[in-house]
Structure formats: structure tokens, C-alpha cells
Amino acid sequence: MNYGAPGVYVEEVDSGSRTIQGRSTSIAAFVGLTPDAGAAVNEAVAVNSLREFSKHFAPPGAAATHLAHAVHGFFLNGGSRCYVINTGTAGPIEQATIRRLEELDDVAMVAAPGATAIEDYDALITHCKGRSDRLAILDPPERVENIMDLTKVATATPSKSGAPERPSLRPPESDKAVLYFPWLVIKNAFGTGCVNAPPSGFVAGIWARAAPHQPPANAGVAGALGVTYPIIDAEQAVLNPLGVNCIRHFSDSGPTVWGARTLAAQSSPFRYVNVRRLFCYIQTAIALDTRGYVFRPNDHNLWMTVRRNVSDFLRGQWRIGALHGRTPDEAFFVKCDEDTNPPESIREGKLVVEVGIAPVRPAEFVIFRVAHIESGTSNEEVARG
């Protein structure tokens, strides 16, 4: 720019930083048999409404399937976009179906509505373990005669003793999978009367409308008239520590999601759904952003850029309440310097960034301590004990 007349000149310059954009966590993928068994078999079809689903997969007069009810529940409860992969049969999930899931790079949750065989559990969990961007929402069997059957992990092999045992129905332990119990009673959107429906699609819709750091619980299930197994407090006290999230039918609110745990061990830092979802969200956002740094000179300028961009992103997460801490320094750290990138690492073509975050955990147990005080006793005396 040429400066002729005296005055103030404003120039726009590139600061070198860019905002990391978090990807949507509201898109689901549903795997299973559709009402039209021959429609787009093993193809991933994007669907944005129940009308679109019916157009592609549910012609008039076709009998509804578990997947159809799940898609209906997804849109009823806040979902706005999902993928449907029609397996063409009601058998176990095949490798071709998993391949279609692998090809989808914008999915945050996967479900196979009504699929409760151990092979199906393993297929979805293994798929999600290999991805940093998604979780599996699993369904229990439709009929559970004894609540204790959900406390034992299902296996593909029979017991060695050969003696009859109670069935083992709980999916394998995993921080990338979430289980909800029981099934729901709903009005058949594709026919008449009421039917039982697996909860995964309805829950996926609730997840879709919740931010990653918000526990998707204490939420009414739209479209659910009741539950197939009315759970009482004593039963939930057994199931909750094992990661079985209960859907309770309360008299004042109807069917309500009343649990927010993954199937991880109790000692796992990822035993809460919102913590696991938040880590998936942040990992994916940072990975997508740093893709632009591949093949750039691995020097101090790059390290500074990475620290600045990632710190700005995490600071934004802290401001909206996703991270715990009174200050950003208490909520996260980002380290990318000579310590994380020594000469031998640089020679190998590696850029190493260390990121630590303090997620917000849910108030799962709200405890009030109520004391009985004698008439005439002051509040100060009660406080002193």
C-alpha cells in the first residue's frame, strides 16, 4: 500500500491462527433389516426425516421392523440426520456392513436396533474401539425374566460344566459402548396398535439434542407410552454400578432415561457417557484441525501454532462449562515443544502434542442430610453439631 496523504491507515493481516471447529455429534448410523428388505442392501443411505425413511425403506403395507421403530424414535426425540444401512436379512452383523460404517466419517453413534446376540455386541464394540469419534448404543434382549441375568457378561461359548445356568445377557465391558434397559412400549407408526420397541433409536435422538459434555439423562422419552419391565429402586441399585442404564416409568413424567454410564469398569475415567462423548468430540476436532499440519516444517513456529489453536479451542470448551476448573489453567493444558518433540522424534517425522483436560462429571447422586432438631434449638447450635 502506498501512503500519500497524512492520516490513519488500517491494514488487515493474517494472524496465522484459525479456530478449531468441533464436528457435529448428533448424527447416528442404524444397522439392521428395514421393512423393504431389498431396498439399498448394504448401502449407507442418509435420511433426514421419517418421511424420507419411509420413501426409501418402508413402502405402504410393509411390516415394521425394529430398525424402523428406532428411526422413528430417533426423529421424535431430537435427531435430525442419520444413516440407514439395510442388511437385507435379520441375521448377525456381517463384515460388509461394518465396512459401510467405516466409510462414514461424520457419525458419532452407531446402533443395531434389536440385535442382542453376543456376536452383534462384539461387532459394534470392536468397530467403535477402532474409531475415536463414535460410541455404540446397545439394546438388551426384549424379554428379561430375572434382573440378575443382566449382571453377567454374555459369552459365545457354553459353560464348561454343561449344567443349565441362568442366561448371561450383559454386553462385554467397554468404555465405547452404552446399554439401556428395558424395551419401550410405543404406538406403531407404521401400522396399528402398540408394539414393543428397542430403546437404542429413541436414546440416540436424546443424545443428538444434548451437547457432548451434557449427561443425556433425566430426559423423557418422546413417543414411549410405557416400558416392558417396570424397574424399582432396589433393582437399579444393582444394575447402575454395572453400567446398565435404566429407563424408568415415573408417574409424573412417564418413561424417563435414568442413567448415564458406559459399560466401562467402575474404576475407569470413562464410566460416564458425557465424559466419553466429550473426549470423542475433542479428539476428533483436534485431529481434523491438525491434519493441515501434516508435511509442514516441524519447528518452533509449528509448535507455537499448534499450542495456540488447540488452547483457544479448549478455552472455548471451558467457557461453555464443558471443562472443570475455576481458570483455564485448571481445566486443561497443551504441551508442544522441545520436550515432546526431541530431535530423534523430529527425524522420524513425528509431531507430538500432549493435551490434558478435566471433564465435568454428572451429579449422579444428590444427597440431602436432614437433621431432627428440638424445638427452641438455634440454627447456629445445629450447625456446630
Domain CATH for 181? 3.40.50.11780
Instruction: Decide if 284 is inside a domain.
Output: no
Domain boundary among 224, 241, 274: 274
Residues 213 and 306 in one domain: no
Residues 255 and 131 in one domain: yes
Instruction: Decide if 233 is inside a domain.
Output: yes
Instruction: Decide if 9 is inside a domain.
Output: no
Read off the pTM: 0.89
Give the pLDDT score at 382: 45
Nearest to 360 by CA among 212, 206, 205, 180: 212
Question: How many domains does the chain contain in total?
Answer: 2
Give the pLDDT score at 164: 47
C-alpha cell at 18: 484459525
Instruction: Decide if 280 is inside a domain.
Output: no
Give the pLDDT score at 1: 61
Query: Cβ(279)–Cβ(270) under 8 Å?
Result: yes
Give the pLDDT score at 5: 77
Tell me the mean pLDDT per 10 residues along the chain, length 385. Answer: 71 60 91 96 97 95 95 97 96 94 97 96 97 96 93 74 66 97 96 95 97 96 97 96 97 95 95 96 91 90 94 95 95 94 92 93 76 62 52
Residues 262 and 324 in one domain: no
DSSP 245: E
Instruction: Decide if 287 is inside a domain.
Output: no
Query: Cβ(176)–Cβ(125) under 8 Å?
Result: yes
User: Residue 31: exposed, middle, or buried by beta-carbon count in 10 A (0-12, 13-18, 19+)?
Assistant: buried
Residues 237 and 341 in one domain: no
DSSP 22: P
Nearest to 124 by CA among 93, 148, 145: 93
Give the pLDDT score at 289: 86
Domain boundary among 240, 274, 308: 274
Structural domain boundaries, residue 298:
294-385
Residues 262 and 142 in one domain: yes
Angle at 93 between CA 224 and CA 190, to 5 degrees: 35
Residues 158 and 307 in one domain: no
Give the pLDDT score at 6: 75
DSSP 211-230: -TTS---SEE-TTEEEESS-
Give the pLDDT score at 292: 86
Residues 254 and 362 in one domain: no
Residues 248 and 100 in one domain: yes
Instruction: Decide if 180 is inside a domain.
Output: yes
Residues 191 and 47 in one domain: yes
Residues 240 and 306 in one domain: no
First to last CA, the chain: 76
Instruction: Decide if 23 is inside a domain.
Output: no
DSSP 299: S
Give the pLDDT score at 163: 47
Residues 6+ apart with CB under 8 A from 203: 77, 137, 178, 180, 216, 221, 257
Nearest to 87 by CA among 78, 96, 79: 96
Q: How far apart are CA 159 and CA 167, in angstroms?
A: 10
- Distances in Å between the Cα of 367 and the Cα atoms of 133, 153, 267, 279, 288 are 34, 31, 22, 28, 41
Domain boundary among 274, 302, 330: 274
Instruction: Decide if 73 is inside a domain.
Output: yes
Give the pLDDT score at 8: 76
Residues 380 and 241 in one domain: no
Residues 270 and 338 in one domain: no
